[in-house]
Amino acid sequence: CYKIAQISKDDNSQLAVCRVLLAELEAHKDAWPFLTPVNHKVILGYRKVIKRPMDFSTIRRKLNNNLYFSLETFMGDVNLVFDNCEKFNEDDSEIGRAGHNMRKFFDELLQLKK
Ligand SMILES: Cc1ncccc1N[C@@H](C)c1ccc2c(c1)OCCO2
């Protein structure tokens, strides 16, 4: 029984780290383009270009519904937010710059947490 308890404890501690990381991403001054899903009725072309939309509110819902099994699966969705941003937005644009800033901030957070 100890082994089962051990696996679930690691998952719980990894998920606790994900909650802290997401809270810090959401609180960043440049998080505004990523807080809610992109409305493809407002942003023309988005649905065609971006095959796997992702945003911080969707990550928050998945985390609350226990849909992340490890820090790695959580990181996959966070990096998807930034990869989508780079694909759709010019580097030299408000949203493009915010995406680069947020990805740098996230990479620095991960260095601290390791
Ligand atoms: C991350 C992203 N990539 C490409 C386009 C948009 C967005 N973000 C949305 C929330 C967004 C960001 C800024 C906006 C907006 C919607 O709607 C019109 C006014 O300005």
Q: Is the CB of 85 under 6 A from ligand 1?
A: yes
**Spatial CA neighbour of 47 closest among 102, 88, 89:** 88
Does pTM top 0.90 for this prediction? Answer: yes
- For residue 12, the model assigns a pLDDT of 84
- For residue 5, the model assigns a pLDDT of 59
- For residue 1, the model assigns a pLDDT of 56
Which segments of the chain are extended strands (E)?
A: none
Q: Whose CA is nearest to atom 3 of ligand 1?
A: 85
Interface ipTM: 0.97
Distance CA 21, CA 74 (A): 10
CB 36 within 8 Å of CB 104: no
Report CA-CA distances (Å) from 53 to 2, 14, 36, 47, 113: 40, 24, 11, 8, 27
The predicted-structure confidence for 49-108, as pLDDT tens digits, reads as follows 999 999 999 999 999 999 999 999 999 999 999 999 999 999 999 999 999 999 999 999
CB 1 within 8 Å of CB 38: no
The predicted-structure confidence for 13-57, as pLDDT tens digits, reads as follows 999 999 999 999 999 999 999 999 999 999 999 999 999 999 999
CA angle 17–19–21, rounded 5-degree value: 70
pLDDT exceeds cutoff 90 at 7? no
* Cβ-based neighbours of 103, under 8 Å, separated by 6 or more: 79, 82
Among 26, 34, 43, name the best residue to mutate to test ligand 1's pocket (greatest count of ligand atoms within 8 A of Cβ). 43
